[in-house]
Amino acid sequence: MKPLVFILAFAAAGGADTPSRLEEVARIASVMVDGDVAKRIVTERAMRYMLKQDPRDPYLASDNYDVNHEAFIQTKKTLMRLARLVDFPSDVNLWMPIPTDPPRIHLVIRNVNEFSRFWRWGALHQEMFPEMKQVLATGKPLTLTDRPGWVAVLAPVYDSRGDVVGLVEVVSRMNPDPRENVK
């Protein structure tokens, strides 16, 4: 019964074919998002601070977070255009792994609807999610509908060597809250 309710609800919002339409956006995103540019977004300095911890200064890493503007803007605009491929509210977010042991991952670019199936609001980086690990390892997209009201498609981002260097999260939400995260 639950899947039926879910599909009907999406029929009222984005349409019953929401998952397949987001999968199509994700397929295009895998082609259009430039992994070499994506790797240049976060500055080397910011990456060095990313995992530093100072018990007296809990904001050490986030205060030193910085990006290369050109790479950020170029990629963000691509993500925004991708989100416009569907006629219902969606976001296309960029995630990049952090080569640590155990591996971590960080959201690099997110967008106006504040949709993310994974991001803990305000987190600079997070533990690697199994779903993301799978996409990074296999290069195969993954569609997630396990959280009620959400559809997210993860798809690989490639660099010029053909390596999977990150992933996009193409995501939409049934009944988005227009006031959530206005803070």
Partner 1 sequence: MRTALVVLFTMPCLAGAALEMLPEYARPDPFGGLVAPDQGARNAPVVLRGARGGWISLQFVVKLPEPGPYRLDVRLKAPDGGIQVELFREWFHWVPRQKRYYPDALVPVSLPVSSRLPEPDNRIEKQTAQAYWADLWIPKNAPAGVVRGEARLEAQGRTERLPFELEVLPVAIPEEEIPTIDHNSYGSSWLANFYKEPGESDQEFFSSDRFFELIHAHHRIFYEHRGVFHQLGYGHGGKVGPEFAPALTGSGRTRRVADWMLFDRHYGPLLDGSAFANTRRGRRPIRFVYLPINPEWPASFLWWGEPGYETEFVNVVSEMERHFRAKGWTQTYFELFFNHKKRYKAFPWDGDEARFPEDDDYFAEYHRLLQRAVPAGSPVRFLFRNDASWAMERQFKTLAGKVNFWVLSRSILSWYDYAPKMLKERGDIVWFYSGPPPVTEVSSAVTKFPLTAWMWGIDGYIHWLTVSPGDDPWFAFTGGDTALVYPGARFGIRAPIPSIRLKLQRNCVQDLALLERFAGRRPREELRSEVAARYNRSQPGDWWTRRPRLADTPPYEWSNTDIDEVTDLDERLFARLDAAAWQRVRDWVHELVKEGR
Q: Which residue ranges make up the site for partner 1 (CB under 8 A)?
A: 54, 56-57, 59-60, 62-67, 69, 72-73, 76-77, 80-81, 107-114, 122, 124, 177-183
Contacts 24+ apart (CB under 8 A), 8-13: 9/149, 9/174, 9/175, 10/151, 10/174, 12/174, 13/88, 13/172, 13/174, 13/175
Distances in whole angstroms, Cα of residue 172 to Cα of each of 38, 58, 92, 114: 22, 32, 9, 10
* Cβ-based nearer residue to partner 1, 23 or 72: 72
Minimum CB distance to partner 1, residue 68 (Å): 8
* Cβ-based nearer residue to partner 1, 127 or 180: 180
Minimum CB distance to partner 1, residue 45 (Å): 9
Minimum CB distance to partner 1, residue 33 (Å): 15
* Cβ-based nearer residue to partner 1, 22 or 109: 109
